[in-house]
Structure 1
Amino acid sequence: MTGPLTGRVVLVTGAAGGIGRAIAARLAADGARVAVHHLPGDAAEEATAADLAARLGGIAVAADVRDATQVAGMVDQVRERLGPVSGLVCAAAASVAGRGDWRQLTAGDWADVLAVNVTGAFLCVQAAYPDLVATGNGAIVLFSSVTPLLGRTGNLHYVTSKAAIIGMTRSLAREAGPDAVRVNAIAPGAIRTPAEAVYGTAEEVADAMYAVQALRRRGEPSDVAAVTSFLLGADAGFVTGQLLVVDGGWVMP
């Protein structure tokens, strides 16, 4: 049986996380051969990625996305085992639990978040780009957030990193367009994952979101995965440089 992504080889970074796992599973269900990325040296992530890759018929690959050499080696491994990368999903992120005073941020705090969220995405794109061009239908999906659209307080380093992804998406789409490579970004809203427990109970978080969303249901990782699959596929063949907000109508830019 074929699907809309049959024939594609897609590398999903951050695939051991809740949203990343849902993306990898959806892409495989839609026919893609998926490389499931995880952080090296993290036993829990490694086990999760290996199990997911086995279930999806893909492979697990490890790299610190802040390290250009490791990222290049990861892309080489995907090419050797699955074929040239025609789709790249940069879902790896340094998230920030809770909220804090920006005046208390250290230079290290700032650098760590931007290194993963911005530099990591750039290095993955740069390493995979020759494959994306050679395949003739390359597509990149980067991950921003609704937080820069809201000007959310309490996470200045994270919000800044996700704003940078919007600029990267638009500029890179101009750069890559002549090579027939499409570049888009997704800005998830409040998606139900275990990490949101820092904001309260499930009921408290739901009530808070229902007060600001147009839709009165929680966002699920599968909602983000469905949009990712669309952006990688032929149905989005004339879509590039765009930010798709997946937030149940919280922000309407």
Structure 2
Amino acid sequence: MALLNRYLILFVLSVATAAGVSATPSAPRTFSVLAGAAGDWAKLDYARSPSAIIPLVLGRQVRSPEQTAASGETWEVGRAIIDPITGIPARKIVARTTWPQGVRTALFVLVPKLAPDAEGLEFDVLASDDSPTAFPPETLRVINATPANLAGRIGAEQVSLPPGVSRTFATTAFLAPDEDHDPGMPVGLAVHMPAGWVALYDAPLSVSPNTRVLVIVLPPKNAGSTRIQVRAVHQTLPPPVTGVPLVSNR
């Protein structure tokens, strides 16, 4: 009987532990938004819930403050408008994408379309995992928002970059013993045009310690133009926590 009671107690404890683990809430999903180019960024917002509409304050080459995301697979951006028929305030969806699978911290880059599409969407959206694990400090990532394949050099690597989000590349800036005389990491990007290869970016890129760099390649902003834009966005992350002080109960 004692042995039976012992196994019964162990079973109850295991069930209680499992229930406690399953009841533990997971960390909320968060996101930031980056305006890829010049555009109409006024009165954009995000619906955390039907009753919580959060304004998005965007600027070129500046990430928005981090926001808590709503549940669900779809991520949308709205704009406050005046309904042309009723004359009353309304909200129009201007950007939409699927939340990247398995990602808890996302970055969404908004790229203005030349004209709204059939759904009335005004922006293309490129999503990526923005966690420090997937995009760590002292690395570089390229977001190719054009429909073209790019070629070039990042550091010592020859690279080919299809449309979308690239892998991360380790930077070579500020490595001892050259911290005071850092020449920067070579970065060169080119695209193949009908007349041949055209250089888009060719310059040394200095990356400060604990900083990561997002290089965004944007399509022409005017119809008929062939001018592709390149932006380098630097972000310095907070220093990692190296230890937790011990607290004595005595």
Does TM, normalized by the shorter one, top 0.5? no
Larger strand share, 1 or 2? 2
Q: What is the TM-score when the length of structure 1 is the normalising length?
A: 0.29
Structure with larger RCO (C-alpha < 8 A, sep 6+): 1
Larger Rg: 2
Larger helix share, 1 or 2? 1
Q: What is the TM-score when the length of structure 2 is the normalising length?
A: 0.29
